[in-house]
Structure 1
Amino acid sequence: MIMNAVQKDSGKRVVVGLTGRVASSVAAFLLKKQGFDVIGMSIITNIDENFAREEFYPKCHVQNLEAIKEFCQRLKIPFYATDAKSQYESEVIDPLLSNKLAGNANASCFNCTEMRIKIMFEKMKKLKADFIATGHFGKIHKSLTTDDFFVHSNIDHESDQSYLLSNIENQYLRHLILPLGELKQEEVIKIAKKFNLIVPNKSKKYNFCFREINSYGKYISQKIPKSLINAGQVINIDNSNTHGDHEGMINHYITERDFNFKGVNTSEEKDIEIVGFDFKRNVLQIGSKKNLTFLGTQLTHMKVNGNLERSKPIACFVKTKYSTKMNKAILYFKNNSSAYVEFEQKYYPLIKGDIFVLYDKEGRNAKVIGFGTVDQRGRYEPLDRVHEFRPSQGDEKFVPKEFKF
């Protein structure tokens, strides 16, 4: 079940991140069964008493520490808990607040994953271990020609979490083991039930990093000045109609459909959702999904595989944390840190601040070749070097016939 490249390292010491969720518990079990010297570790990030309330609970946070300790005792492995509240506040919550106040997408999962990997890496060194491991559904492969390690997609696109690991640097990847890389989610659940690996939690309800929950705005509102939480108008940008007032845009998120504004009945108007925030006028914008559907976007703050040929367009596949499907696209580099992406088909939802992860192919075992942050959305004028590009035979239908803003 564990990659062959890892099996030869059995007997070595590995620190496994435990959240109390099924995936991390099964990861620890499989490594123990494989012959590794396993150490369990939980990272405590519950920075606020509200995290004890069910409605505020993100899915990756430790909810029942005592149950995890008991699990480690049953597995006969040592256990450590590390307090990371201050790091979580500065590296996850602060950027989250900045993005929220700018009306951008929530990229907290990327920041949180990176923070946790770094904490585990430091613990690995202190405990004189050789590896760290998590319950992410993805793979790590070493290049056949260089000393670099790359993240690859899981065998099941519905459970694949390779995008969460796309910003992890090589110094950490070379020590990272992903025991669930060849498993589907339902297979992991079967293993957990068969060997009684389910860790009991106080609640079965989990949220996804503050995004699709009403408590998101409530939590954020406690962290910012009250002066920034002002009521304002709600306007349908498709017809310019005004639908009463909102009680603060901080209480909402883009793509939200479960809201109640004057003159808007979401049960009847199923295509109406929140599509933007006009902070200058304090206007919350609603409309149809076409307002979040685009054929292209500019990516900034990019990090890509250093071996990529950037002088010509690159055929690739893109994915965000909001989708389970890879989308065919062409990447046009502007410089080392920004590029334009043209999709083969219209992309929804495309939100400023979202993270786009780039893959070399579609499906299982696709290699992550880079990632970037969504900036401007739309179609763009081509660069001069794009004019010089001539697709090879058979690629014509894959290249957009127009490339205009």
Structure 2
Amino acid sequence: MQKSKRERVIIGMDGGIDSAVTALLLKKQGYDCIGVNISFFERVTQEDEDFVTNFKTKLTPEGRIPDELADDEEMKEGLRRFEKIKWVRRINHIFKDWFCAPQEQIKDICRLIGIPFYVTNASSEFEDRVISLMLKSRFAGIWQNPSLDRATLIFDILNSKLEALKATKIATGHYCKVIANHGQFGLVRPNDPNENDCHLLSNLSQESLSRLLLPIADLNTSEVDRIGALVSANSFTREKLKAKKKARAQTYQSDELCDLYPRYVAPKFIRESNIYDHSNDNVVGAHDAHFRYHLGQTHYKTKEGNPRVPDSQIVVISMSRGHIFIAKNKELEFERIICHHFENFNVVDTAKPLECYGSLLSNGNTFKGTLYLLNNGNIFFDLEDKKNGIVFRGDTIMFFLKDAPSAKAIGHAKVYQSGHFVDGQFYMLPLSKREKEELEETQALPKKREIGF
């Protein structure tokens, strides 16, 4: 009797314990597994390092080709190589926590599990689809979630390898469940209450979701760690994984990103202006480039070195004028989040107001509230209780039926703005001095009429 052919699955391997356990579980379930590592790291060889050291001696102190060699084609080609190597070194340093474990380590894990191992380099795609978007968003004063862009890129690459590797499924070590509902695939929170990667899968197409396997979503991390100990002690530990995840989340706020802007932004678009206190429009100080600042920044500096306003953060960056506005943390609050580009998973009726939970990708904060879907595809999410803080434009919010493990995702959207109400009027930021005066004047008008003025 001829043995039935096993279904082949491509497994994204990063050297971490979650992807290692994913591969082990799927192999034990009878799948024909292939481990694929997507490398975002562009290697700089010792030969490259030696070239940079030697070529630097041929340049002027400012890093330019000497005038007498300005037309030398060999020098021009050497300068291009010199600049590229320096750029790669800078990228590798700033984004070191975004890269996978060494390939030899991942190869050893695959060997222990007993599956073939392949590597594909995507350093140029990582720069185009993650780094450049991060820089453009920060420059424009819009919040960006680069971890979402990175995850989407990973799944796109894995899907692109299906035909070449004759596979029908892909798998990763993400903590999320995929379910089918009346012919449409949706997302469900995993069993572990402390893990939730649903946001990272929110950009996947229905076709991608239909071929996705996520076996560790049914386990707690403690169970995954016990199984992982059987695979390799060299896998990233849970503590190291958390440290890398935290470091990635902080990249958007990194001052080192400023070194990358000259490659992406022409000098004429860089604005010099002032930093203003939103509450009274007073100038806190000047700045020489608005891209050196980011939304939510609490430790900001002025050009003159003026002290920052205590207990404050940057809340608005105007790309067109270069103006930067700060507000005091204790005055920031919101009770409504306005979103656009809502992706509805159609698991419940959203034609009427729906009580649910909204979870932000930027910080994982979850809020209970009521979801209102408008006719134009935009949504209002009114919180049950007013919250301190601010939700920035560009963040991703996912809505769930419950704030609990195995809760179904209703859909997801991009944040447009958040704010609060004063006398029925919606404000994104705390009331400024002028707005307070106008409000007081408006409130006083009916009283004047009552006494005959």
Query: Normalising to structure 2: TM-score of the pair?
Result: 0.72
Letter in 2 for 1:232: S
Is structure 2 residue 59 aligned with structure 1 residue 21? no
Letter in 2 for 1:107: N
Supply the distance in 1 between the matched residues of 2:220 and 2:262 (Cα, whole angstroms). 38
**Greater shift after overlay, 256-265 or 370-379?**
256-265
Supply the distance in 1 between the matched residues of 2:41 and 2:270 (Cα, whole angstroms). 24
Task: Output aligned runs, 1:215-234, within 5 Å.
Answer: 215-234=256-275
**Greater shift after overlay, 240-249 or 292-301?**
240-249
The 1:324–1:374 alpha-carbon spacing in structure 2 relative to 1, beyond 3 Å, is: closer
Q: 2:160 is matched with which residue: 117, 122, 127?
A: 122
Supply the distance in 2 between the matched residues of 1:288 and 1:191 (Cα, whole angstroms). 48
Is structure 2 residue 130 aligned with structure 1 residue 92? yes
Task: Output aligned runs, 1:152-191, within 5 Å.
Answer: 152-191=188-227
Is structure 2 residue 279 aligned with structure 1 residue 243? no
Partner of 1:108: 146
Structure 1 unaligned segments of length 5 or more: list them. 1-8, 382-401
Matched residue count = 370
The 1:184–1:52 alpha-carbon spacing in structure 2 relative to 1, beyond 3 Å, is: farther
Identity of aligned residues (%): 26
Structure 2 unaligned segments of length 5 or more: list them. 43-86, 427-453
The 1:265–1:181 alpha-carbon spacing in structure 2 relative to 1, beyond 3 Å, is: same
1:328 offset after TM fit, Å?
1.1
Task: Output aligned runs, 1:2-401, within 5 Å.
Answer: 11-46=6-41, 49-50=88-89, 53-59=92-98, 61-143=99-181, 146-199=182-235, 206=244, 207-208=247-248, 210-261=251-302, 262-264=305-307, 269=310, 271-289=311-329, 293-306=333-346, 308-347=348-387, 348-378=389-419
2:186–2:345 Cα contact (<8 Å) kept = no
**Greater shift after overlay, 105-114 or 236-245?**
236-245
1:292–1:350 Cα contact (<8 Å) kept = no
Query: Normalising to structure 1: TM-score of the pair?
Result: 0.80
Letter in 1 for 2:209: L
Aligned residue for 2:399, secondary structure, equals strand
Letter in 1 for 2:335: L
Letter in 1 for 2:325: Q
Structure richer in helix, relative to its length: 2
Per-residue CA deviations over 1:67-116 (Å, capped at 9, x if unaligned) read 22232223221111223344334433443333223211113322332222
1:220 offset after TM fit, Å?
4.2
Letter in 1 for 2:130: V
Per-residue CA deviations over 1:269-290 (Å, capped at 9, x if unaligned) read 4x32222212333222222235
Supply the distance in 1 between the matched residues of 2:178 and 2:404 (Cα, whole angstroms). 16
Higher CA-based Rg:
2
The 1:216–1:94 alpha-carbon spacing in structure 2 relative to 1, beyond 3 Å, is: closer
Letter in 2 for 1:26: V
Letter in 2 for 1:57: K
1:67–1:200 Cα contact (<8 Å) kept = no
Supply the distance in 2 between the matched residues of 1:221 and 1:31 (Cα, whole angstroms). 46
Q: Aligned-pair RMSD on alpha carbons? A: 3.1
Supply the distance in 2 between the matched residues of 1:153 and 1:65 (Cα, whole angstroms). 31
Aligned residue for 2:118, secondary structure, equals strand
